[in-house]
Structure 1
């Protein structure tokens, strides 16, 4: 890929392509499948699990989307994909249309016997090589140095605001809404351009910046850069973009100076939990293996187990370690780093992005993550081009 950082102009899409692109982006925002599959009442869920002697959990509860699934699917499938003027754009937009249809299926089949198959269709499962890597990490990678969780939500929000200000100084239109949620099934997450943070969160100070580089430096920055492209899908995400986004997010933690071993272990645990969920294992069995066999702390083991059973068995969590593996393989082969930030796409799209560049529909990234300005960033990136995935972690924070 020949893109490099800097501002650039793009030409408009042809009329039908632009109309379909806009409609797909609007439908993507409407189909907030991840929100529909995020359990609520997590504190009560743990209390019930603990009261049962860690042998049972009540059914997971979710919010219901204000969405007519049948009408939305009709609208999605009625889009005039075959009338798009460019075969290149038609192929990309048809691929996104198919993905959104599968996402509707996930929401429709939530907590039914058909959910796991729908999840496998969309995200795939766990291949033997990834399973072997995950088990190796859980066996061989130890936790980092013990650090006190001395940073609470107020200090974290100060860091979030400072981070946003840093980007706005370079691009005044840089933006993300920030929402504090005390019933969040993640420490932090970005969904449809909104940055969510757990209101009960406490972290070691050394972990704050790496996690912000994961969420803001990856997910918000690529959305910002994608917003400047002619193809709106580069803002909301081309089909199957999750693996590269999450791979970049995890790598950002390493490049920002502190990816502790326990973080890598959690990603490996998610792979194992996904595999067990697909095979019909429930939260108690997954928790037991992660906590008793592999030594994960109770909160991590329970969180990973619940995540794996979202909707009835959501296989997306294997994407984090899988995406990191694909990204590391790309870097080992000499792949360019900066073009990965032009928007949200899959590594399989990089040849297509070159064609979009040639057609004038893609410009270089407007912003790069803040960690790329660190003095030793070139050395850290160089290490990522040689180290195996299992070695991409730190015993202590970088100074």
Structure 2
């Protein structure tokens, strides 16, 4: 064991513990209402405020709390700061899941994690919804096309896909585990990757779980939005929707060129926390993704208008408006019933989820960062925020954090 490994060894246990917590404490998953369809139908027919029901907590809460209670070594001050802050963030997320429906707590906790929109962000959002007319263009591109484009983008960057590592998987897995994984990977449309992962968890097969976390898998999912799950190396594309022309290329930039690439570089670091994400990294993450959409010529005015609507919904929530008042305000800005419902739901899920401003706020951050001559390479060492840069620079100087292996293609 060399000096660097000796220095980092005290952090291995807390690193592994927090990665396991990250895989269990899926905040947005647990904030998705089970009765959305029913409540939406009732809401659109009446003035009744929607009351939502949520999923039962499926993970072992005591086990999560025990892991979060572990002491963080102070041998490397910068790492101690990183792990203590991440513990606090995951602890808040766990409490939010336990206290869904407690509006005051959910709003306070989510504001602590994600911050709140300032006047510049709110004013920019209002300008966008006024300047960009409602767009409802044709959406004829099937989900499978989007999935395949993204899979090719992963290969282009040199990330490892499970479907390309069959021989290695055969060596790792027992017969039943290998057949189960191959049945999914060879399925024609790779439906419901999220459901497959739940099935993997239920098997209790640790070797299978370790194998599916080793390589990237891109499949279709039940969630409406395309999503990267860095802790699992999963990417899902909604299988029940069609996409607009250009969405596949835009999502390849956004999801692969930023979300997956920053995770992949994080896994190249000596500690996995750089792949799961440091505390408060998501504002920079989402801002960088939208910024690179612009830089590569793949930005969508329809999507930008949606991000602006998200800011307005969060701003309305923070002003004390109820669901109906926020919905009506969005309608005044020419959002359709469907759009106004989705935007309001995102802001009021769990009781009041203050997060959705980060996409537009992060974009403004990135424009300012570029204007001031910011170094974009350092943002690719892993999933870090702008506020982590001084700390990360010190870790690079100490030889603990490496420069990024994978870099975004901006052409």
Shorter-chain TM-score tier: 0.7 to 0.9
Once superposed, what is the RMSD of the aligned Cα atoms? Answer: 2.4
Q: CA deviation at 1:360?
A: 1.1
What corresponds to 1:364 in structure 2?
A: 403
Q: CA deviation at 1:258?
A: 2.3
Once the two structures are superposed, what CA deviation does each residue of 1:33-90 show, in whole Å capped at 9, x if it has no partner?
221112345444443333x15x33642233233224344223312x222x33111211
Structure 1 runs of 4+ with >6 Å offset: 169-174
What corresponds to 1:224 in structure 2?
A: 264
Q: Does 1:316 align with 2:355?
A: yes
Contact 1:176 1:220 in 2 (8 A): no
Q: Does 1:298 align with 2:288?
A: no
Mapping for residues 55-134 of structure 1, pairs under 5 Å: 55-56=47-48, 58-77=50-69, 79-81=70-72, 83-113=73-103, 114-134=105-125
Distance 1:160 1:125 in 2: 32
Q: Does 1:327 align with 2:366?
A: yes
Residues 239 and 85 (structure 1 numbering): CA distance in 2 closer, same or farther, change over 3 Å? same
Q: CA deviation at 1:316?
A: 1.0
Q: CA deviation at 1:235?
A: 0.6
Q: Does 1:30 align with 2:30?
A: no
Once the two structures are overlaid, the 10-residue window that deviates more, 104-113 or 341-350, is: 104-113
Contact 2:379 2:385 in 1 (8 A): no
Residues 299 and 163 (structure 1 numbering): CA distance in 2 closer, same or farther, change over 3 Å? farther
Query: Could you tell me the TM-score, scaled by structure 1's length?
Result: 0.82
What corresponds to 1:380 in structure 2?
A: none
Q: Does 1:248 align with 2:242?
A: no
Q: Does 1:189 align with 2:227?
A: yes
Distance 2:240 2:400 in 1: 43
What corresponds to 1:49 in structure 2?
A: 43
Distance 2:91 2:12 in 1: 20
What corresponds to 2:382 in structure 1?
A: 343
Contact 1:164 1:175 in 2 (8 A): no
Q: CA deviation at 1:267?
A: 1.1
Q: Equivalent residue of 1:180, what SS?
A: strand
Once the two structures are overlaid, the 10-residue window that deviates more, 93-102 or 293-302, is: 293-302
Query: Could you tell me the TM-score, scaled by structure 2's length?
Result: 0.79
Structure 1: give runs of 5+ residues left out of the alignment.
Answer: 1-9, 375-399
Distance 1:259 1:142 in 2: 16
